[in-house]
Structure formats: C-alpha cells, structure tokens
Amino acid sequence: MTVYKAPVDDYMFVLHELLRVQELASLEAFANVSADMTRQILEGAATFCEEVYHPLNAIGDEQGCVLENGVVRTPDGFADAYRHYCEAGWNRLGAPEERGGAGMPGVVVLPASEFAVSANAGLSLYSGLTNAAHATLARTGAEWMQEHVVPRMVDGAWSGTMCLTEPHCGTDLRLMKTRAVAQPDGSYRITGTKIFISGGDHDLTDNIIHLVLAKLPNTDGKWVDDLATVNFFMVPKFNLDPSTGRMLDRNDVSVGGVEKKMGIRGNPACVLNFDGAVGYRLAGGASAPGKQSSSAGMAGMFAMMNRARLGTGIAALAVAEKAAQNADAYARTRVAGKSRPGSGVPHTISEYPDVKRLLMRQRAFIEGARALGAWVSLQIDLEQASNDAAQRRRSGNLATLLTPVIKACFSDGAFQAANDAVQVYGGHGYIRDNGVEQFVRDTRIYQIYEGANGVQAFDLVARKMPAQGGGLVTTFLDEINATIAEASLVPALDACTAALRDGRDDLVLAAKWVAASGGDEHGDAAGGSYDVMSIFGVVAIGLMWLRVAKVAWDRIEAGEGDPRFYRRKLALARYWVQRELPLTRVLLERARLGNDGVVDLAAAHF
C-alpha cells in the first residue's frame, strides 16, 4: 500500500509566513483567519483524508465504476466515505455561510482540497465538481435555484457535473449539436449527447445537477454553427418542482456508457444522452424562442471553466505530492551498493546523486508550485474581497494571466514527477502491486482536462498576453521586479536573485516576440506558444522560490522557528534557480523559431 501524509506544515508556512493571510483581517472574508484556526482546519482535513479517503484509493483504482441497469455503481466504501466527508463539512468549507457553508476564503480552502485529491483523486472529484457547479448556479441561476438547488448541492445531498464535450466536438463549441428548444412554461427541452462527463452518474447522492452547453436557434429560427447561439442550462437527473424544489420523476437523461479509463478510475467518465430532457437556462432566465443573449450563458460557462482549470492544476499537483512522498520513502529504505567506509550504515539509493536529482526535482517543483497556486488563489480572493479598486484590478490581472499557466505547467510537471517516482522505484515501480504506476496513469489526464495544454498555451499568447495592451504581463513583471529589488538587499541570495533576473529578461523578450508575431492560430506565435507558456511557468515558480528564500533567510537570521525547515527551503530554492530557471534561454530560442521546422511536413506525410 502507498503512503500519504498531508503537508500541513508546508501549507502553514505558505499561508502564514509567505502570504501572511492573517494580516488581511480587515477584509470581511479574512476576519476570522488566524494561524490557530488555519492549523485546526488543516489538521482536521489531513486526518480525515489520511484515515478515510487514502485507504480507498487502491480499491477505487482496482474496481472502477460499473454501469448496472442504467445506474453507475461506485467502488466499495466510496458511498460511506463520501457521506462522512459531507457530514464533517469538508465539502463546504468555501461555500457562503448563507447557503450552509463555512464561508472560508479560497486560499484557506485550497490545502484541504489538495489533501483530498492526494488521498483519493477519484473520490475527491465528486465534491470538487459539485463545488464548481453550485458556485456557478449561485452566480447564474434563477431565484428558485438559489433557494432550492444550491443548498442541497452545498450540503452534498445532490452533486453536480459539467457537460460540455460531444463525440465530434471538444474545444470548438461552434460545432456542438446538442439543442435546446424553448417551452411555453419558460423551461427548455435539451436533446443531444455529451461524453467524458466525470461523475455523470453514480450512487452517492439522491440527485445530480448537470450544467449543460446547448444551442438555441438563431434569430431566423435556424440551427447554425455560431458561438452566439451556444447557451448554458441546468438539467437535473430527477425533475424538480421550481416552487418547492421537490424531486419529481426521472428526467430524460440516461447513461449511454462508462468509459474504460486509463486512470482516476474511481470516478466514472460517462456518455450521457439527453432525449428531450427538461432544462432551465442560466444567467439569462427564460426567454421567448429565438431571443437569446450569447453572453449570458457563455459568461457563466467560462467563469466555471476558469475555476476548473485552476482546480485541475492543483489536483495534478496533489497527485504529484503523493508520488513524491512514496518515491522518497522507497529511496530511504531500498539498500543498494556499499556502505560508506567506516559508517557501518547500509547504503540506500537515496545516497546516489541521480536518485537525489529525481527527488530534488520533484520537491522543488511541488513546493514551488504549491506556493504559486496559493498566491494565485489569494489573488482571486482579493479580486472579490478587497476594498481597494486598484488591488482588485491588479489581482484580477494576475489570476487571469496565470490561469492557463497553472493548469498546463502544473499538470506537465506533475506527470514528470509521477514518472520520476516510477524511476526511483526501478523495476518495482513498474509492478502494479506497489501502487506508484497509478500516479502516472492518474496524472496523465490533467494534461487533457479542461482544455488540452496546447490549447492553454495558445490562449496565453493569443488572448491573455495581448489583453489590455499587454497590461496583464506588465502587472506580472511588476511583481517580479519588486521581488528582485527586495531580495537584492540580501547578499546571501545574490545567485537566486540573478537567476530570476535572467529569467525575467527572457520572459520580456518572449513577450515582445509574441507581440510582433500576432495571434493567428496558424501563425508563428502558435508554433512557439508552448515554449512561451513554459517560460512563464518556470519564471513564476522561480518568483515564488525567491520569495520563499527571502522569508527563510530572514527567519534564520532572526533565530525564529526551526532552522532545519528553512535551510531545506533554501536548498530547494537553489535547485530551482540553478537547474530549472536557466532553461528559459533554451525555451526562448526554440519559441522564436515559431513554425520553423514544425510545419515542414504535410499532414499526409506523418
């Protein structure tokens, strides 16, 4: 069986020493956030995830989900664990108090979410999807949904899904075929097929609330391939009485199949058939046939997708954490080679430089990315909660720019970390009984979830970087420059500071190249987009490591805390700036090639 210990102390460092969230108590959302409260939440979530969720992880992977008589059955123990998770309130830490939640800011909820995914990626996904769905309904749903549907999703009695992808259509929503026909009572009839729907059916909750993309006819009453006709709908598994929220008969939504997946097998990827199912339009309310606002439904969908992309990056990081813990545990117990002369201590593989290289790469990525993810989560909180309009704009710019970076670079790094875990184990990593090959299978999907990483890269160069005349990039560079200026006052950090300065310069050159190349989907910027995105990821994590190093150095100098903890942080920071930040120069040179060498072969010649 694999091991897992939630990184409570690391998150306490990130939240209260690096980000200093306790200093935001003047904001209503942070009024009750103290170090004591945070530790209590984190230790409680850690204990639950370690003792209840983690033991079911291998069972979920082995058994998977099974379709029986039109209903999906989850693995043994999942239903009880899910119920206990909801009863304990871990599923609703971030939900508003008026809806039955704890009202915690997202940056405080983040650690508990990571712990749950690390412990059991498949089981945690049910709650994760539901949280995204009820938050979307809270923003876009009609009043009766706010009153009757959202609270049942918050308490976990009902779950939620996102139904976007179709058999012939993934990212290009214009090609969707699912249709919505308006009814005299203000509802709609939804007809079409959706695929890869995580948690699309299961036996954990009484009802499932599907959030579905579907087309309306255009103003001429025709069905056309136009994004302006795509809207967002709520479609329950069991019909509801809008006046009371009471469950009625089964809606016309059926499970066409459950995919035989590579990983995260404890959560089903369903084919869902909507055969004239009753649905309700979101964000725009009821409207007459042919009258629709494209922005209403799509705004709700994109808001949900952006949150899901951030969540995907953090989920990938969570699985990487578990992979790294198991690689470390194995390396420290696997004896190989001769003992050091005179030591009499068995020589474990953790002493070999190449194994240490793998372990250091895992740790430097995971802990740097964790700090970055928490910082961006805090920016989302500040965009919503700050009393300062300039701060709200600044935080919004940072979160918008870095969302595709976190989703793609975290999932790429997590997949590498999982592969490194197998490499540390050697042949034993390739054997299923040892459990680490599951990490490779599980992390692989995050590079595809919520828009493949290549899509994230093009979104970054074509939309995010040019936005506001490059203003989002300028905001990020301001953060880097301020950090460099502060760290420059500490001579002991000169090497780290210089490395980030060089990485920043490469980022600036990459941004200028993108601006000169344009945003055409077949142009040079598209060909170099992945490398540009990778530069952002390496530099963003480097930014966090320099900030971490500054805090660690200050604590050591002041004689505060455990010096071993801070020296460890400094060692990991040095690894990142020495081994990873220099890659920006290679990435820049490759990015500036654009399409050169990429488009030389016609598709038929591959």
Token pair in block for residue 14: 């990130």
Token pair in block for residue 385: 């909660």
**Partners of residue 215 on adjacent β-strands:** 179, 230
Residue 330 to residue 322: CA distance in whole angstroms: 12
Which secondary-structure segment (H or E) carries 281? strand 269-281
Give exposure, 137-155, as e/b (b: 16+ Cβ within 10 Å): bbebbbeebbebbbbbbbb
Q: Is 580 a catalytic residue?
A: no
Residue 378 to residue 29: CA distance in whole angstroms: 11
Question: Checking DSSP bridges between strand 207-215 and strand 158-163, what pairing results, if any?
Answer: parallel
Residue 259 to residue 270: CA distance in whole angstroms: 6
One-letter amino acid at 82 equals: Y
Q: What percent of the residues of the chain are helix, what percent strand, and what percent coil, each to the nearest 5?
A: 60, 10, 25
- Give phi and psi for 257, each to the nearest 5: 170, 165
Token pair in block for residue 369: 């990315």
Catalytic residue among 98, 450, 521, 557: 450
Contacts of 277 (CB under 8 A, 6+ apart): 189, 190, 191, 235, 251, 252, 253
Token pair in block for residue 211: 């959030």
Question: Checking DSSP bridges between strand 188-198 and strand 179-182, what pairing results, if any?
Answer: antiparallel
Residue 18 to residue 20: CA distance in whole angstroms: 6
One-letter amino acid at 115 equals: F
Residues in the chain: 606
One-letter amino acid at 68 equals: E
At 373 the three-state DSSP class reads helix
Q: Catalytic residue positions?
A: 450
